[in-house]
């Protein structure tokens, strides 16, 4: 797993290993202690220090689900247009991927297994 994002920073007093464990748990729900440090990079221009880890886990990648939160921090449900994608989230807020959902008018729609994009009858993504 490689990550270098603005939201991926260590908390004050947290060492790099504690940080990567916390970020993996927060972003995926995966709990593990099986990390191997594979490198360190000092980016002088940005005054940033990156520590890179490899994580071994037996978590089925298809068991990881996606949620989207609105501007008030509430999980969204139903049909949503997000970043020019037509997506669907079930009643618990889990994004529909590789499955079907029925809209308010009773129409059944198909969603791509990898991206979650709404698909047309030919399996092509529907543009928002």
Write phi, then psi, for 35 (nearest 5 degrees). Answer: -120, 140
- What is the model's pTM? 0.56
- Each of the 128 residues of the chain gets a pLDDT tens digit; together they read 444 454 567 888 999 999 999 888 887 778 889 999 999 999 899 888 889 999 888 888 777 777 888 888 899 999 999 888 899 999 999 999 999 998 888 889 999 998 899 998 877 778 76
63: number of CA atoms within 13 Å, CB side?
Answer: 6
What pLDDT does residue 91 have? 92
What are the residue ranges spanned by the domains of the chain? 16-61, 78-118
Measured CA to CA in angstroms, residue 114 lies from 88, 95, 96 at distances of 13, 11, 10
Distance of CA 122 to the CA centre of its chain: 27
What pLDDT does residue 100 have? 93
What pLDDT does residue 2 have? 46
């Amino acid at each position: 797993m490689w990550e270098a994002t603005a939201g991926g920073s260590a908390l004050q007093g947290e060492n790099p290993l504690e940080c990567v464990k916390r970020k993996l748990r927060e972003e995926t729900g995966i709990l593990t202690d099986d990390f191997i440090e594979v490198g360190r990079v000092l980016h002088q221009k940005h005054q940033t220090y990156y520590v890179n880890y490899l994580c071994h886990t037996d978590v089925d990648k298809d068991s990881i689900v996606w949620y989207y939160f609105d501007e008030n921090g509430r999980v969204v449900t139903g049909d949503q247009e997000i970043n020019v994608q037509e997506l669907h989230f079930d009643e618990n807020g889990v994004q529909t991927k590789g499955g079907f959902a029925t809209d308010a008018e009773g129409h059944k729609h198909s969603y791509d297994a990898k991206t979650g994009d709404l698909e047309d009858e030919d399996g092509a993504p529907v543009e928002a």
